[in-house]
Amino acid sequence: MTISPEREAALLASVPTGLLINGQWRDAASGRTMEVHDPATGEVLLSIADGGSEDALAALDSAAAAQAGWARTAPRVRAEILRKAFELVTARAEDFALLMTLEMGKPLAEARGEVAYGAEFLRWYSEETVRDYGRYLTSPEGKNKILVQRKPVGPCLLITPWNFPLAMATRKVGPAIAAGCTMVLKPAKLTPLTSQLFAATMMEAGLPAGVLNVVSGSSAAAISAPILADSRLRKVSFTGSTEVGKRLMKDATDNVLRTSMELGGNAPFIVFADADLDKAVDGAMAAKMRNMGEACTAANRFLVQESIAAEFTAKFAVKMGALATGRGTEAGAQVGPMIDEKARAGIHTLVTAAVDAGATVLAGGAPVEGPGWFYQPTVLANVPNDADILGQEIFGPVAPVTTFTDEDDAARIANATEYGLASYLYSRDFSRLLRMSEKLEFGMVGFNAGVISNAAAPFGGVKHSGLGREGGAEGIAEYTTTQYIGIADPYEV
Protein backbone atom coordinates (compact mmCIF):
# COMPACT_ATOMS: atom_id res chain seq x y z
CA MET A 1 0.00 0.00 0.00
CA THR A 2 1.36 3.42 -0.93
CA ILE A 3 2.03 5.67 2.09
CA SER A 4 -0.08 8.85 2.24
CA PRO A 5 1.51 12.35 2.34
CA GLU A 6 -0.32 12.97 5.65
CA ARG A 7 1.34 9.95 7.27
CA GLU A 8 4.77 11.12 6.03
CA ALA A 9 4.17 14.64 7.38
CA ALA A 10 3.01 13.37 10.77
CA LEU A 11 6.10 11.18 11.14
CA LEU A 12 8.48 13.97 10.15
CA ALA A 13 6.80 16.29 12.66
CA SER A 14 7.68 13.80 15.42
CA VAL A 15 11.43 13.79 14.69
CA PRO A 16 13.55 15.95 17.06
CA THR A 17 15.39 18.64 15.10
CA GLY A 18 18.02 19.68 17.67
CA LEU A 19 21.39 18.36 18.77
CA LEU A 20 21.24 15.96 21.73
CA ILE A 21 23.73 17.18 24.32
CA ASN A 22 23.60 16.15 27.97
CA GLY A 23 20.06 14.89 27.62
CA GLN A 24 18.72 18.14 26.11
CA TRP A 25 17.77 18.85 22.51
CA ARG A 26 19.32 22.17 21.58
CA ASP A 27 19.96 24.43 18.62
CA ALA A 28 23.43 24.61 17.08
CA ALA A 29 25.62 27.25 18.76
CA SER A 30 25.82 29.00 15.37
CA GLY A 31 22.02 28.95 15.04
CA ARG A 32 22.45 27.32 11.62
CA THR A 33 20.22 24.58 10.24
CA MET A 34 20.67 22.13 7.36
CA GLU A 35 18.16 20.51 5.03
CA VAL A 36 17.62 16.78 4.63
CA HIS A 37 16.32 15.64 1.22
CA ASP A 38 14.32 12.75 -0.21
CA PRO A 39 16.55 11.11 -2.86
CA ALA A 40 13.46 9.82 -4.71
CA THR A 41 12.13 13.34 -5.36
CA GLY A 42 14.91 15.77 -4.45
CA GLU A 43 12.46 17.56 -2.14
CA VAL A 44 13.30 18.82 1.36
CA LEU A 45 12.00 16.52 4.12
CA LEU A 46 13.05 18.48 7.20
CA SER A 47 15.60 21.03 8.44
CA ILE A 48 17.60 20.13 11.54
CA ALA A 49 20.30 21.82 13.62
CA ASP A 50 23.63 22.05 11.80
CA GLY A 51 26.18 21.30 14.52
CA GLY A 52 29.78 22.54 14.39
CA SER A 53 32.98 22.49 16.45
CA GLU A 54 31.57 24.29 19.49
CA ASP A 55 28.67 21.83 19.67
CA ALA A 56 31.02 18.90 19.20
CA LEU A 57 33.09 19.96 22.20
CA ALA A 58 29.96 20.54 24.28
CA ALA A 59 28.90 16.98 23.40
CA LEU A 60 32.31 15.63 24.42
CA ASP A 61 32.13 17.64 27.70
CA SER A 62 28.84 15.91 28.38
CA ALA A 63 30.15 12.42 27.49
CA ALA A 64 33.31 12.91 29.57
CA ALA A 65 31.32 14.14 32.60
CA ALA A 66 28.98 11.12 32.41
CA GLN A 67 31.72 8.51 31.92
CA ALA A 68 32.68 7.65 35.52
CA GLY A 69 29.09 7.33 36.73
CA TRP A 70 28.06 5.28 33.72
CA ALA A 71 30.99 2.90 34.11
CA ARG A 72 29.88 2.29 37.73
CA THR A 73 26.24 1.71 36.76
CA ALA A 74 25.26 -1.91 37.39
CA PRO A 75 25.52 -4.09 34.28
CA ARG A 76 21.95 -5.26 34.88
CA VAL A 77 20.72 -1.66 34.75
CA ARG A 78 22.58 -1.04 31.46
CA ALA A 79 21.22 -4.32 30.11
CA GLU A 80 17.63 -3.41 30.99
CA ILE A 81 17.94 -0.05 29.20
CA LEU A 82 19.14 -1.82 26.06
CA ARG A 83 16.33 -4.37 26.32
CA LYS A 84 13.77 -1.58 26.72
CA ALA A 85 15.29 0.20 23.71
CA PHE A 86 14.95 -3.01 21.68
CA GLU A 87 11.28 -3.21 22.61
CA LEU A 88 10.62 0.46 21.81
CA VAL A 89 12.38 0.32 18.42
CA THR A 90 10.48 -2.88 17.58
CA ALA A 91 7.16 -1.33 18.63
CA ARG A 92 7.93 1.66 16.39
CA ALA A 93 9.24 -0.42 13.52
CA GLU A 94 6.88 1.18 11.00
CA ASP A 95 8.03 4.70 11.96
CA PHE A 96 11.71 3.81 11.73
CA ALA A 97 11.17 2.00 8.44
CA LEU A 98 9.28 4.86 6.83
CA LEU A 99 11.79 7.43 8.04
CA MET A 100 14.67 5.47 6.51
CA THR A 101 12.77 5.07 3.27
CA LEU A 102 12.14 8.81 3.14
CA GLU A 103 15.69 9.97 3.79
CA MET A 104 17.67 7.13 2.24
CA GLY A 105 15.40 5.77 -0.49
CA LYS A 106 15.31 2.02 0.20
CA PRO A 107 11.92 0.36 -0.37
CA LEU A 108 9.77 -0.04 2.75
CA ALA A 109 10.14 -3.82 2.82
CA GLU A 110 13.92 -3.43 2.96
CA ALA A 111 13.68 -0.72 5.58
CA ARG A 112 11.56 -3.03 7.74
CA GLY A 113 14.29 -5.64 7.40
CA GLU A 114 16.86 -3.11 8.57
CA VAL A 115 14.74 -2.23 11.62
CA ALA A 116 14.63 -5.89 12.63
CA TYR A 117 18.39 -6.27 12.01
CA GLY A 118 19.25 -2.98 13.73
CA ALA A 119 17.06 -3.63 16.77
CA GLU A 120 18.73 -7.02 17.20
CA PHE A 121 22.01 -5.31 18.23
CA LEU A 122 20.15 -3.75 21.15
CA ARG A 123 18.77 -7.12 22.24
CA TRP A 124 22.02 -9.03 21.66
CA TYR A 125 24.08 -6.50 23.63
CA SER A 126 21.51 -6.33 26.42
CA GLU A 127 22.30 -10.04 26.82
CA GLU A 128 26.07 -9.53 26.52
CA THR A 129 26.17 -6.72 29.11
CA VAL A 130 25.99 -9.11 32.06
CA ARG A 131 28.47 -11.61 30.57
CA ASP A 132 31.55 -9.46 30.16
CA TYR A 133 33.88 -11.87 31.96
CA GLY A 134 37.42 -11.39 33.21
CA ARG A 135 39.66 -14.21 34.49
CA TYR A 136 41.67 -15.32 37.52
CA LEU A 137 44.53 -17.79 37.51
CA THR A 138 47.63 -18.92 39.29
CA SER A 139 50.85 -17.91 37.56
CA PRO A 140 52.79 -20.78 35.91
CA GLU A 141 55.41 -20.53 38.68
CA GLY A 142 52.65 -21.45 41.14
CA LYS A 143 53.01 -18.49 43.48
CA ASN A 144 51.55 -15.20 42.28
CA LYS A 145 47.98 -14.78 41.12
CA ILE A 146 46.83 -13.14 37.90
CA LEU A 147 43.58 -11.18 37.84
CA VAL A 148 42.32 -9.77 34.54
CA GLN A 149 39.38 -7.40 34.35
CA ARG A 150 37.75 -5.64 31.45
CA LYS A 151 36.88 -1.97 31.81
CA PRO A 152 35.09 0.48 29.53
CA VAL A 153 37.57 2.12 27.19
CA GLY A 154 36.09 5.57 27.89
CA PRO A 155 34.29 8.25 25.86
CA CYS A 156 33.89 7.27 22.19
CA LEU A 157 33.27 9.08 18.92
CA LEU A 158 30.95 7.04 16.68
CA ILE A 159 30.72 8.03 13.01
CA THR A 160 28.14 6.33 10.79
CA PRO A 161 27.40 6.23 7.01
CA TRP A 162 24.16 6.97 5.16
CA ASN A 163 23.40 3.52 3.74
CA PHE A 164 22.04 1.77 6.88
CA PRO A 165 20.93 4.70 9.03
CA LEU A 166 19.58 2.64 11.94
CA ALA A 167 21.69 -0.51 11.96
CA MET A 168 25.03 1.27 11.70
CA ALA A 169 24.07 3.32 14.78
CA THR A 170 22.76 0.42 16.89
CA ARG A 171 25.78 -1.72 15.95
CA LYS A 172 28.01 0.84 17.71
CA VAL A 173 25.72 2.30 20.39
CA GLY A 174 24.58 -1.15 21.62
CA PRO A 175 28.03 -2.53 22.53
CA ALA A 176 29.26 0.88 23.76
CA ILE A 177 26.39 1.00 26.27
CA ALA A 178 26.93 -2.63 27.20
CA ALA A 179 30.61 -1.99 27.94
CA GLY A 180 29.86 1.14 30.00
CA CYS A 181 31.16 3.76 27.57
CA THR A 182 29.68 7.20 26.92
CA MET A 183 29.64 8.56 23.40
CA VAL A 184 29.16 11.24 20.77
CA LEU A 185 27.36 9.93 17.69
CA LYS A 186 27.88 11.75 14.39
CA PRO A 187 25.45 10.46 11.75
CA ALA A 188 25.91 10.99 8.00
CA LYS A 189 24.58 14.38 6.88
CA LEU A 190 22.48 12.76 4.13
CA THR A 191 20.48 10.56 6.57
CA PRO A 192 20.57 12.02 10.10
CA LEU A 193 16.84 11.78 10.84
CA THR A 194 16.82 8.10 11.79
CA SER A 195 19.56 8.76 14.37
CA GLN A 196 17.53 11.65 15.77
CA LEU A 197 14.51 9.39 16.29
CA PHE A 198 16.73 6.58 17.59
CA ALA A 199 18.37 8.90 20.15
CA ALA A 200 14.95 10.08 21.35
CA THR A 201 13.97 6.41 21.75
CA MET A 202 17.14 5.67 23.75
CA MET A 203 16.32 8.52 26.12
CA GLU A 204 12.80 7.17 26.51
CA ALA A 205 14.30 3.77 27.32
CA GLY A 206 15.95 5.37 30.35
CA LEU A 207 19.48 6.19 29.18
CA PRO A 208 20.93 8.79 31.60
CA ALA A 209 21.77 12.26 30.27
CA GLY A 210 25.23 12.53 28.71
CA VAL A 211 25.72 8.84 27.88
CA LEU A 212 24.59 9.29 24.27
CA ASN A 213 25.09 12.67 22.60
CA VAL A 214 24.22 13.25 18.96
CA VAL A 215 25.72 15.97 16.76
CA SER A 216 24.67 16.09 13.12
CA GLY A 217 26.12 18.70 10.83
CA SER A 218 27.00 19.69 7.29
CA SER A 219 30.77 19.65 7.97
CA ALA A 220 31.93 16.26 9.26
CA ALA A 221 35.48 17.45 9.87
CA ALA A 222 34.28 20.48 11.88
CA ILE A 223 32.63 18.01 14.28
CA SER A 224 35.22 15.23 14.34
CA ALA A 225 38.49 17.22 14.36
CA PRO A 226 38.13 18.95 17.77
CA ILE A 227 36.84 15.75 19.37
CA LEU A 228 39.70 13.64 17.99
CA ALA A 229 42.22 16.22 19.19
CA ASP A 230 40.85 16.19 22.75
CA SER A 231 42.66 13.89 25.17
CA ARG A 232 39.40 12.99 26.97
CA LEU A 233 38.34 10.94 23.93
CA ARG A 234 39.55 7.32 24.12
CA LYS A 235 38.14 5.69 21.02
CA VAL A 236 36.83 6.33 17.53
CA SER A 237 34.58 3.82 15.78
CA PHE A 238 33.95 4.59 12.13
CA THR A 239 31.87 3.00 9.39
CA GLY A 240 32.26 4.47 5.93
CA SER A 241 34.62 4.71 3.00
CA THR A 242 38.20 3.48 3.12
CA GLU A 243 39.42 6.93 2.08
CA VAL A 244 37.83 8.72 5.06
CA GLY A 245 38.72 5.84 7.40
CA LYS A 246 42.41 6.17 6.56
CA ARG A 247 42.26 9.90 7.23
CA LEU A 248 40.62 9.32 10.61
CA MET A 249 43.25 6.73 11.53
CA LYS A 250 45.92 9.36 10.91
CA ASP A 251 43.97 11.90 12.97
CA ALA A 252 43.67 9.33 15.77
CA THR A 253 47.43 8.82 16.13
CA ASP A 254 48.22 11.92 18.20
CA ASN A 255 45.94 10.75 21.02
CA VAL A 256 46.83 7.07 20.44
CA LEU A 257 43.12 6.30 20.19
CA ARG A 258 41.59 2.86 19.98
CA THR A 259 40.11 2.62 16.49
CA SER A 260 37.48 0.37 14.93
CA MET A 261 37.22 0.78 11.19
CA GLU A 262 34.42 -0.76 9.12
CA LEU A 263 35.38 0.35 5.61
CA GLY A 264 34.64 -0.38 1.98
CA GLY A 265 34.36 -3.75 0.26
CA ASN A 266 34.69 -5.43 -3.13
CA ALA A 267 32.93 -8.73 -2.50
CA PRO A 268 33.42 -11.64 -4.91
CA PHE A 269 30.39 -13.90 -5.44
CA ILE A 270 31.89 -17.23 -6.54
CA VAL A 271 29.69 -19.87 -8.16
CA PHE A 272 31.11 -23.36 -8.78
CA ALA A 273 29.67 -25.69 -11.41
CA ASP A 274 28.44 -28.09 -8.70
CA ALA A 275 26.21 -25.40 -7.09
CA ASP A 276 22.42 -25.49 -7.14
CA LEU A 277 22.08 -22.96 -9.94
CA ASP A 278 18.65 -21.58 -9.05
CA LYS A 279 19.69 -21.11 -5.43
CA ALA A 280 22.86 -19.41 -6.61
CA VAL A 281 20.82 -17.00 -8.75
CA ASP A 282 18.53 -16.23 -5.79
CA GLY A 283 21.61 -15.70 -3.61
CA ALA A 284 23.12 -13.45 -6.25
CA MET A 285 19.97 -11.32 -6.28
CA ALA A 286 20.10 -10.97 -2.49
CA ALA A 287 23.83 -10.28 -2.33
CA LYS A 288 23.63 -7.71 -5.11
CA MET A 289 20.30 -6.00 -4.59
CA ARG A 290 20.03 -5.68 -0.81
CA ASN A 291 19.90 -1.92 -0.27
CA MET A 292 20.01 -1.37 -4.08
CA GLY A 293 23.63 -2.51 -4.06
CA GLU A 294 24.51 0.34 -1.69
CA ALA A 295 26.03 -1.99 0.90
CA CYS A 296 29.64 -2.65 1.89
CA THR A 297 28.82 -6.37 1.72
CA ALA A 298 27.21 -6.08 -1.75
CA ALA A 299 28.47 -8.62 -4.26
CA ASN A 300 30.66 -6.47 -6.50
CA ARG A 301 32.09 -9.15 -8.82
CA PHE A 302 30.39 -12.34 -9.96
CA LEU A 303 32.95 -15.08 -10.62
CA VAL A 304 31.28 -18.05 -12.30
CA GLN A 305 32.95 -21.32 -13.30
CA GLU A 306 33.27 -21.39 -17.09
CA SER A 307 31.02 -24.39 -17.79
CA ILE A 308 27.92 -22.77 -16.21
CA ALA A 309 28.65 -19.08 -16.82
CA ALA A 310 26.25 -18.60 -19.77
CA GLU A 311 23.32 -20.33 -18.04
CA PHE A 312 23.87 -18.56 -14.70
CA THR A 313 24.20 -15.14 -16.32
CA ALA A 314 21.09 -15.55 -18.50
CA LYS A 315 18.92 -16.55 -15.51
CA PHE A 316 20.38 -13.76 -13.37
CA ALA A 317 19.75 -11.15 -16.09
CA VAL A 318 16.08 -12.16 -16.44
CA LYS A 319 15.52 -11.67 -12.70
CA MET A 320 17.44 -8.40 -12.54
CA GLY A 321 15.63 -7.01 -15.59
CA ALA A 322 12.23 -7.78 -14.05
CA LEU A 323 12.78 -5.59 -10.94
CA ALA A 324 10.63 -2.46 -10.66
CA THR A 325 12.24 0.85 -9.67
CA GLY A 326 10.17 3.38 -7.72
CA ARG A 327 9.94 5.62 -4.67
CA GLY A 328 10.27 3.30 -1.68
CA THR A 329 6.93 4.37 -0.23
CA GLU A 330 5.03 3.20 -3.36
CA ALA A 331 3.37 -0.19 -3.50
CA GLY A 332 5.36 -2.48 -5.80
CA ALA A 333 8.64 -0.53 -5.69
CA GLN A 334 11.51 -3.03 -5.47
CA VAL A 335 14.50 -0.80 -6.21
CA GLY A 336 14.78 2.71 -4.78
CA PRO A 337 16.95 5.62 -5.95
CA MET A 338 20.69 6.02 -5.48
CA ILE A 339 21.56 8.37 -2.64
CA ASP A 340 22.43 11.38 -4.82
CA GLU A 341 23.25 12.56 -8.33
CA LYS A 342 27.01 12.15 -7.83
CA ALA A 343 26.62 8.51 -6.76
CA ARG A 344 24.45 7.71 -9.78
CA ALA A 345 26.82 9.45 -12.19
CA GLY A 346 29.77 7.46 -10.76
CA ILE A 347 27.92 4.18 -11.31
CA HIS A 348 27.10 5.07 -14.90
CA THR A 349 30.73 6.01 -15.60
CA LEU A 350 31.84 2.53 -14.45
CA VAL A 351 29.20 0.83 -16.63
CA THR A 352 30.06 2.90 -19.70
CA ALA A 353 33.78 2.24 -19.30
CA ALA A 354 33.16 -1.52 -18.94
CA VAL A 355 31.04 -1.57 -22.10
CA ASP A 356 33.69 0.42 -23.96
CA ALA A 357 36.23 -2.20 -22.83
CA GLY A 358 34.11 -5.04 -24.30
CA ALA A 359 31.45 -5.96 -21.71
CA THR A 360 27.99 -6.99 -22.95
CA VAL A 361 24.83 -5.48 -21.38
CA LEU A 362 22.30 -8.25 -20.60
CA ALA A 363 19.96 -6.08 -18.52
CA GLY A 364 19.67 -2.37 -17.74
CA GLY A 365 22.75 -0.27 -18.33
CA ALA A 366 21.38 3.27 -17.93
CA PRO A 367 19.95 5.82 -15.49
CA VAL A 368 16.13 5.99 -15.23
CA GLU A 369 14.61 9.17 -16.69
CA GLY A 370 12.63 11.48 -14.41
CA PRO A 371 12.96 12.85 -10.86
CA GLY A 372 15.11 11.04 -8.29
CA TRP A 373 18.43 9.26 -8.77
CA PHE A 374 17.23 5.90 -10.05
CA TYR A 375 19.47 3.48 -11.96
CA GLN A 376 18.33 0.40 -13.89
CA PRO A 377 19.24 -2.98 -12.36
CA THR A 378 22.08 -4.02 -14.65
CA VAL A 379 23.91 -7.22 -15.60
CA LEU A 380 27.15 -7.07 -17.59
CA ALA A 381 28.69 -10.22 -19.12
CA ASN A 382 32.18 -10.78 -20.56
CA VAL A 383 33.69 -8.09 -18.36
CA PRO A 384 37.47 -7.87 -18.91
CA ASN A 385 39.47 -8.69 -15.78
CA ASP A 386 41.19 -5.30 -15.76
CA ALA A 387 37.96 -3.24 -16.03
CA ASP A 388 37.62 -0.50 -13.38
CA ILE A 389 34.20 -1.85 -12.40
CA LEU A 390 35.85 -5.00 -10.98
CA GLY A 391 38.40 -3.02 -8.98
CA GLN A 392 36.14 -0.43 -7.38
CA GLU A 393 33.17 -0.47 -5.04
CA ILE A 394 30.19 0.01 -7.43
CA PHE A 395 27.67 0.83 -4.67
CA GLY A 396 24.70 0.42 -7.01
CA PRO A 397 22.47 -2.17 -8.73
CA VAL A 398 25.07 -3.30 -11.25
CA ALA A 399 26.38 -6.87 -11.54
CA PRO A 400 29.52 -7.52 -13.62
CA VAL A 401 30.05 -11.20 -14.42
CA THR A 402 33.37 -12.83 -15.22
CA THR A 403 34.62 -16.43 -15.25
CA PHE A 404 37.22 -18.71 -13.63
CA THR A 405 38.61 -22.18 -14.29
CA ASP A 406 39.26 -23.88 -10.92
CA GLU A 407 39.56 -23.22 -7.16
CA ASP A 408 43.02 -21.67 -7.35
CA ASP A 409 41.96 -19.42 -10.22
CA ALA A 410 38.82 -18.33 -8.30
CA ALA A 411 40.84 -17.54 -5.16
CA ARG A 412 43.48 -15.67 -7.14
CA ILE A 413 40.89 -13.45 -8.89
CA ALA A 414 38.87 -12.96 -5.69
CA ASN A 415 41.93 -11.86 -3.70
CA ALA A 416 43.18 -9.45 -6.39
CA THR A 417 41.83 -6.40 -4.55
CA GLU A 418 42.97 -4.22 -1.67
CA TYR A 419 39.61 -4.90 0.02
CA GLY A 420 38.73 -7.90 2.19
CA LEU A 421 35.26 -7.59 3.73
CA ALA A 422 32.57 -10.07 2.54
CA SER A 423 32.87 -12.93 0.04
CA TYR A 424 30.31 -15.47 -1.13
CA LEU A 425 30.72 -19.06 -2.24
CA TYR A 426 28.15 -21.33 -3.88
CA SER A 427 28.89 -25.05 -4.09
CA ARG A 428 27.45 -28.35 -2.85
CA ASP A 429 30.88 -29.45 -1.62
CA PHE A 430 31.59 -28.62 2.04
CA SER A 431 35.25 -29.61 1.72
CA ARG A 432 35.55 -27.01 -1.00
CA LEU A 433 34.24 -24.40 1.43
CA LEU A 434 36.92 -25.37 3.96
CA ARG A 435 39.67 -25.20 1.32
CA MET A 436 38.42 -21.94 -0.18
CA SER A 437 37.86 -20.19 3.16
CA GLU A 438 41.54 -20.78 3.97
CA LYS A 439 42.52 -19.18 0.69
CA LEU A 440 40.09 -16.25 0.68
CA GLU A 441 41.53 -13.07 2.22
CA PHE A 442 38.18 -11.81 3.50
CA GLY A 443 36.80 -11.21 6.98
CA MET A 444 33.53 -12.96 6.11
CA VAL A 445 32.49 -15.85 3.85
CA GLY A 446 28.87 -16.61 2.95
CA PHE A 447 28.41 -20.30 2.07
CA ASN A 448 25.32 -20.82 -0.10
CA ALA A 449 24.03 -17.63 1.56
CA GLY A 450 23.63 -14.22 -0.08
CA VAL A 451 22.99 -12.27 3.16
CA ILE A 452 25.19 -12.97 6.18
CA SER A 453 24.86 -9.94 8.49
CA ASN A 454 23.76 -10.99 11.97
CA ALA A 455 24.02 -9.30 15.36
CA ALA A 456 25.42 -12.50 16.88
CA ALA A 457 28.26 -12.78 14.34
CA PRO A 458 31.57 -10.85 14.19
CA PHE A 459 31.23 -8.50 11.21
CA GLY A 460 34.35 -6.91 9.77
CA GLY A 461 37.13 -6.97 7.24
CA VAL A 462 40.84 -7.41 6.60
CA LYS A 463 43.26 -5.43 4.40
CA HIS A 464 41.81 -2.01 3.44
CA SER A 465 38.32 -3.06 4.57
CA GLY A 466 39.20 -2.24 8.13
CA LEU A 467 40.10 -3.20 11.67
CA GLY A 468 38.00 -4.68 14.45
CA ARG A 469 34.65 -6.45 14.50
CA GLU A 470 31.07 -5.41 15.19
CA GLY A 471 28.49 -7.88 16.49
CA GLY A 472 28.99 -11.10 18.41
CA ALA A 473 31.14 -11.43 21.51
CA GLU A 474 33.89 -9.60 19.62
CA GLY A 475 31.76 -6.45 19.31
CA ILE A 476 31.78 -5.60 23.01
CA ALA A 477 35.54 -6.20 23.27
CA GLU A 478 36.05 -3.23 20.92
CA TYR A 479 34.71 -0.99 23.71
CA THR A 480 36.64 -2.47 26.63
CA THR A 481 40.23 -2.27 27.74
CA THR A 482 42.02 -4.99 29.66
CA GLN A 483 43.52 -4.37 33.09
CA TYR A 484 45.87 -6.93 34.61
CA ILE A 485 46.34 -7.05 38.39
CA GLY A 486 49.39 -9.01 39.59
CA ILE A 487 48.82 -10.38 43.10
CA ALA A 488 51.66 -11.54 45.35
CA ASP A 489 51.69 -15.14 46.62
CA PRO A 490 48.83 -15.13 49.16
CA TYR A 491 50.73 -17.71 51.32
CA GLU A 492 53.68 -15.38 51.79
CA VAL A 493 51.92 -12.24 53.09
Minimal distance, residue 460 CB to ligand NAP, in Å: 7
- Per the rule left: phi > 0, alpha: psi between -120 and 50, beta: everything else, 154 is left
Q: Which is nearer to ligand NAP, 187 or 365 (CB)?
A: 187
296 carries an active-site annotation: yes
Task: Find the shortest distance in angstroms from Cβ 243 to ligand NAP.
Answer: 7
Q: How far is the CB of 394 from ligand NAP (least distance, A)?
A: 10
User: Which 3-state string (H, E, C) describes the chain?
Assistant: CCCCHHHHHHHHHCCCCCEEECCEEECCCCCCEEEEECCCCCCEEEEEECCCHHHHHHHHHHHHHHHHHHHHCCHHHHHHHHHHHHHHHHHCHHHHHHHHHHHHCCCHHHHHHHHHHHHHHHHHHHHHHCCCCCEEEECCCCCCEEEEEEEECCCEEEECCCCCCCHHHHHHHHHHHHHCCCEEEECCCCCCHHHHHHHHHHHHCCCCCCCEEECCCCCHHHHHHHHHCCCCCCEEEEECCHHHHHHHHHHCCCCCCEEEEECCCCEEEEECCCCCHHHHHHHHHHHHHHHHHCCCCCEEEEEEEHHHHHHHHHHHHHHHHCCCECCCCCCCCCECCCCCHHHHHHHHHHHHHHHHCCCEEEECCCECCCCCCCECCEEEECCCCCCHHHHCCCCCCEEEEEEECCHHHHHHHHHCCCCCCEEEEECCCHHHHHHHHHHCCCCEEEECCCCCCCCCCCECCCHHHEECCECHHHHHHCCEEEEEEEECCCCCC
Q: Which residues bind ligand NAP (CB under 6 A)?
A: 159-164, 168, 186, 188-190, 220-221, 224, 239-241, 244, 247-248, 262-265, 296, 393, 421, 461, 466
Q: Is 262 a catalytic residue?
A: yes
Q: Which is nearer to ligand NAP, 241 or 415 (CB)?
A: 241
Q: Pairing state of beta strands 360-363 and 378-381? A: antiparallel
CB neighbour list of residue 5: distance below 8 Å, 6 or more residues apart: none
Q: How far is the CB of 127 from ligand NAP (least distance, A)?
A: 22
Pick the closer one to ligand NAP by CB: 253 or 483: 253
Of 120, 128, 294, 296, the catalytic one is 296
- Please say which residue, 317 or 421, places its beta carbon nearer to ligand NAP: 421
Cβ at position 431, least distance to ligand NAP in Å = 29
One of 114, 262, 294, 470 is an active-site residue; which one? 262
- Closer residue to ligand NAP, CB minimum distance, 15 or 56: 56
User: Cβ-closest residue to ligand NAP?
Assistant: 240
* Residue 193 Cβ vs ligand NAP, minimum distance, rounded to whole Å: 13
β-partners of residue 445 are 423
Tell me whether residue 302 or residue 312 sits nearer to ligand NAP (CB atom): 302
CB nearer to ligand NAP: give 84 or 189.
189
Q: Which is nearer to ligand NAP, 101 or 465 (CB)?
A: 465
For the annotated catalytic residues, the residue numbers are 262, 296
